[in-house]
Amino acid sequence: MDIYGNRIFTRRLQLRKIESEDLDLIVNWSTSLIAYGNCLTPENLELKQLGHQLTSGALWNSQEKLFLVAIRESDKPIGTAHYWQSPSKKETATISLKIALPDERNKGYGTELQKFLIMQLFNHKQFQNIEMYTDINNIAQQRCLEKLGFEQTISLAYEDRQVQRTGHLYRLTAEQFAREPIYHYHYE
């Protein structure tokens, strides 16, 4: 199934459109230091505002999609995946993801999820670039991005909800994607 559907599957995961019954979980994760780990600052979303974003289509439209990520067999929610297209860089998609449950980290779900989204965005949406930001201390994510063919473009200091951080911007171009064997010969 392509990325335009409301539910898509990888080998072990399912990604689906956020529904109103998911809002409490998303809000709870957004206030949890455990869900965000050491490399992200909780968003502290408000239920009413998130509900308005959902009903207005701000979380699911032609430029942006927010998915709930669940384990395919059990339907157990484990995190979120989000991609968006910047109005100033229409040829570029930015991806972010969060495995919110610490017990589900380090099982390869993040790699599987990113690889799938990258393939869908290049093959079905025809983006020219995909970018991801990562905290300088998120070594696991940096290794994953390098395995997926991304190159670090810049390092920058930034403020993440009043927390000073340093991070890296990684980019994968359509040309790099086309040459990367991981996307053509090894499917997860």
What would the two tokens of residue 159 be? 């403020």
Contacts of 46 (CB under 8 A, 6+ apart): 27
In terms of Cβ atoms closer than 10 Å to its own Cβ (0-12, 13-18, 19+), residue 45 is middle
Residue 19, amino acid: E
Cα distances from 2 to residues 5, 16, 91, 107, 120, in angstroms, run 6, 12, 19, 24, 7
Whether 76 shows a pLDDT value over 50: the answer reads yes
Q: Given this model, what pLDDT does residue 2 score?
A: 42
188: pLDDT strictly greater than 60: no
Where do the H-state alpha helices sit in the chain?
A: 23-30, 33-36, 47-56, 109-124, 139-147, 174-179
Separation CA 66–CA 71 (nearest Å): 16
pLDDT in tens, 87-131: 888 999 999 999 999 999 999 999 999 999 999 999 988 899 999
Q: Domain 7-128 adopts which CATH fold?
A: Aminopeptidase (3.40.630)
For residue 86, the model assigns a pLDDT of 82
pTM score above 0.85: yes
The whole-number average pLDDT for the span 15-27 is 95
Q: Binning pLDDT at 50, 70 and 90, where does residue 187 land? A: low
The pLDDT of residue 186 is 56
Beta bridge partners of 168: 134, 155
- Alpha-carbon Rg for the chain, nearest whole angstrom, is 16
